[in-house]
Amino acid sequence: MPYTSLKDLPSAVQEYLPKRGQEIYKRAYNNAWEQYADRKNRESIAHRVAWSAVKKKYEKRGDRWVKL
Protein backbone atom coordinates (compact mmCIF):
# COMPACT_ATOMS: atom_id res chain seq x y z
CA MET A 1 0.00 0.00 0.00
CA PRO A 2 1.44 3.42 -0.90
CA TYR A 3 2.56 5.80 1.82
CA THR A 4 0.70 9.11 2.10
CA SER A 5 3.08 10.81 4.54
CA LEU A 6 6.48 10.34 6.12
CA LYS A 7 4.76 9.37 9.36
CA ASP A 8 3.39 6.28 7.60
CA LEU A 9 6.83 4.94 6.68
CA PRO A 10 8.25 1.88 8.46
CA SER A 11 9.84 2.71 11.80
CA ALA A 12 13.32 1.73 10.59
CA VAL A 13 13.04 4.31 7.82
CA GLN A 14 11.72 7.02 10.15
CA GLU A 15 14.27 6.40 12.89
CA TYR A 16 17.44 6.14 10.84
CA LEU A 17 17.02 8.11 7.63
CA PRO A 18 17.19 11.90 7.57
CA LYS A 19 14.06 13.68 6.30
CA ARG A 20 15.34 13.98 2.72
CA GLY A 21 16.18 10.27 2.70
CA GLN A 22 12.67 9.50 3.91
CA GLU A 23 11.23 11.58 1.09
CA ILE A 24 13.33 9.69 -1.45
CA TYR A 25 12.23 6.38 0.05
CA LYS A 26 8.54 7.35 0.00
CA ARG A 27 8.61 8.60 -3.58
CA ALA A 28 10.51 5.56 -4.88
CA TYR A 29 8.30 3.12 -2.95
CA ASN A 30 5.08 4.70 -4.23
CA ASN A 31 6.33 4.76 -7.81
CA ALA A 32 7.40 1.11 -7.62
CA TRP A 33 4.06 0.19 -6.02
CA GLU A 34 2.30 1.53 -9.11
CA GLN A 35 4.83 0.19 -11.59
CA TYR A 36 4.63 -3.38 -10.28
CA ALA A 37 0.87 -3.47 -9.69
CA ASP A 38 0.55 -6.73 -11.60
CA ARG A 39 3.15 -8.56 -9.47
CA LYS A 40 2.20 -10.81 -6.58
CA ASN A 41 5.17 -9.67 -4.47
CA ARG A 42 4.88 -5.96 -5.30
CA GLU A 43 5.32 -4.79 -1.70
CA SER A 44 8.66 -6.56 -1.38
CA ILE A 45 9.76 -5.20 -4.75
CA ALA A 46 8.70 -1.67 -3.80
CA HIS A 47 10.76 -1.81 -0.58
CA ARG A 48 13.83 -3.02 -2.50
CA VAL A 49 13.41 -0.26 -5.09
CA ALA A 50 13.01 2.35 -2.34
CA TRP A 51 16.18 1.28 -0.52
CA SER A 52 18.06 1.23 -3.81
CA ALA A 53 17.00 4.83 -4.46
CA VAL A 54 18.14 5.88 -0.99
CA LYS A 55 21.53 4.21 -1.48
CA LYS A 56 22.19 6.42 -4.51
CA LYS A 57 22.25 9.50 -2.25
CA TYR A 58 23.08 8.11 1.21
CA GLU A 59 25.36 5.57 2.78
CA LYS A 60 25.04 3.76 6.07
CA ARG A 61 27.59 4.61 8.76
CA GLY A 62 27.00 2.66 11.91
CA ASP A 63 23.27 2.81 12.50
CA ARG A 64 22.73 6.11 10.66
CA TRP A 65 22.46 7.05 7.00
CA VAL A 66 24.52 10.04 5.85
CA LYS A 67 24.51 11.94 2.58
CA LEU A 68 27.20 10.97 0.08
| pTM beyond 0.85 | yes
Question: What local confidence, expressed as pLDDT, does residue 17 receive?
Answer: 95
Percent residues over pLDDT 70 in the chain: 100
**pLDDT for res 1:** 87
Residue 67 predicted with pLDDT over 90: yes
- DSSP assignment of the chain equals ---SSGGGS-HHHHHHS-HHHHHHHHHHHHHHHHHTTT-TTHHHHHHHHHHHHHHTTEEEETTEEEE-
pLDDT averaged over the chain? Answer: 95
Q: Could you report the per-residue pLDDT of 34-63, keeping only the tens digit for each?
A: 999 999 999 999 999 999 999 999 999 998
